[in-house]
């Protein structure tokens, strides 16, 4: 049986960009999508009830490129609902997610399409992401171990969890079939929606192929960015996203290595919220206990890990917070 990719030399790639009040940045983002050297793309813009003039900018680009851009306007429902709307409208064989203030290098999609050629539909492509503030020319590299090939999506997830690393969602190029297997973005979550979604995608992924040339430029989040929120509501949602990790991954593989990695996910949650929200910390400690892992695990930087080994995790946190205040 021939691989389905052999039927299409230049498969359509749908670039999905949800937009909410990004007037200051969205032009630069759209330009980075439009100058891709890979030509067979469509851009799905979903304005999520912007009030800062973003929609007018999107209309301007749509009028200039009506053959390239699909423009959708909806009342504010959140990034997950906007992204799901974009997926529904997309016609591409591959999906490229892109936040409305981030950028792609011009060769990103072309490189990843080449890497995926001949692979099964269960392969996903990734690339390096760099963080920047004003200009991508000054972007800083993240020295992460995720920037390599992986034999499975689960192996990449375990790298995330064991070393507290991440992949910016725009770094992936994903076949539509993986998206369909994973299901929609969870519209009940208010934070880490992308992490929870790609957790499900990667559990269905047989191979991760890494593009060493293409880049994603991730703009430093502002204080009002949803990913920077540490309200009780946001932290409750973050913990729920981690509970989703546990539920889904243990269906796929229930093993000591997975449970150890999950323990570190929960430890990182406590590390991030301590000493706020004692009820959430208590619930997280209960989740850790239920994992049944007696092995000592350590997270954070080398200094914090050393403190944890001598003082214990909670005492190390208390000391860290004392000196940070």
Would the pTM of this model clear 0.85, i.e. be above it? yes
Query: How far is CA 302 from each of CA 265, 287, 294, rounded to the nearest angstrom?
Result: 17, 25, 22
Cα separation, 180 vs 131, whole angstroms: 30
Residues 6+ apart with CB under 8 A from 305: 298, 299
Q: Would the CA dihedral through 258, 194, 103, 214 be positive or negative?
A: positive
Cβ atoms of 18 and 48 within 8 Å: the answer is: yes
Pairing of strands 94-97, 69-74: unpaired
Cβ atoms of 43 and 49 within 8 Å: the answer is: no
HEC string for 237-281:
HHHHHHHHHHHHHHHHCCCHHHHHHHHHHHHHHHHHHCCCCHHHH
15 pairs with which residues across the strands?
43, 96
Residue 48 phi/psi, 5-degree rounding, is -100, 55
Q: At what angle do helices 313-324 and 256-273 cross, to 10 degrees?
A: 30
Write down the architecture of domain 4-226 according to CATH: Alpha-Beta Complex (3.90)
Cα separation, 312 vs 305, whole angstroms: 9
Q: For the chain, give every domain's residue range.
A: 4-226, 230-324
Pairing of strands 41-48, 69-74: parallel
Distance of alpha carbon 130 from the chain centroid: 14
Task: Report which of 172, 205, 8, 168 is spatially closest to residue 91, judged by C-alpha positions.
Answer: 8
pLDDT in tens, the chain (325 residues): 223 333 457 999 999 999 999 999 999 999 999 999 999 999 999 999 999 999 999 999 999 999 999 999 999 999 999 999 999 999 999 999 999 999 999 999 999 999 999 999 999 999 999 999 989 999 999 999 999 999 999 999 999 999 999 999 999 999 999 999 999 999 999 999 999 999 999 999 999 999 999 999 999 875 444 445 789 999 999 999 999 999 999 999 999 999 999 999 999 999 999 999 999 999 999 999 999 999 999 999 999 999 999 999 999 999 988 888 6
Residue 103, Ramachandran bin (φ over 0: left; ψ between -120 and 50: alpha; else beta): beta
């Amino acid at each position: 049986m021939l691989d389905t990719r052999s039927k299409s030399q230049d498969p359509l790639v749908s670039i999905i960009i949800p937009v909410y009040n990004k007037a200051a940045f969205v032009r630069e983002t759209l330009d980075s999508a439009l100058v891709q050297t890979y030509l067979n793309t469509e851009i799905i813009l979903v304005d999520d009830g912007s009030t800062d003039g973003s929609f007018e900018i999107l209309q301007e680009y749509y009028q200039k490129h009506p053959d390239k851009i699909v423009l959708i306007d909806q009342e504010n429902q959140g990034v997950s609902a906007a992204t799901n709307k974009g997926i529904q409208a997309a016609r591409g064989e591959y999906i490229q997610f892109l936040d409305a203030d981030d950028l792609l290098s011009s060769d990103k999609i072309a490189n990843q399409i080449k890497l995926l050629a001949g692979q099964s539909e269960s392969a996903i492509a990734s690339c390096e992401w760099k963080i920047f503030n004003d200009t991508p020319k000054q972007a800083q590299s993240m020295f992460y171990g995720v920037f390599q090939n992986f034999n499975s999506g689960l192996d990449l997830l375990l790298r995330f969890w064991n070393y507290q690393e991440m992949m910016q969602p725009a770094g992936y190029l994903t076949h539509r079939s993986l998206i369909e297997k994973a299901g929609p973005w969870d519209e009940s979550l208010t934070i880490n929606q992308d992490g929870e979604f790609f957790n499900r995608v990667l559990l269905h992924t047989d191979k991760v192929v890494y593009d060493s040339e293409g880049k994603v430029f991730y703009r430093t989040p502002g204080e009002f960015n949803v990913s920077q929120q540490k309200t009780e509501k946001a932290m409750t949602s973050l913990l729920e996203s981690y509970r989703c990790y546990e539920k889904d991954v243990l269906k796929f593989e229930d093993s000591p290595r997975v449970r150890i990695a999950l323990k570190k996910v929960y430890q990182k949650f406590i590390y991030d919220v301590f000493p706020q929200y004692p009820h959430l910390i208590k619930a997280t400690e209960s989740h850790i206990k239920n994992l049944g892992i007696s092995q000592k695990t350590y997270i954070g930087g080398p200094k914090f890990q050393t403190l944890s080994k001598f003082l214990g995790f909670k005492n190390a946190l208390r000391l860290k917070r004392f000196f940070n205040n």
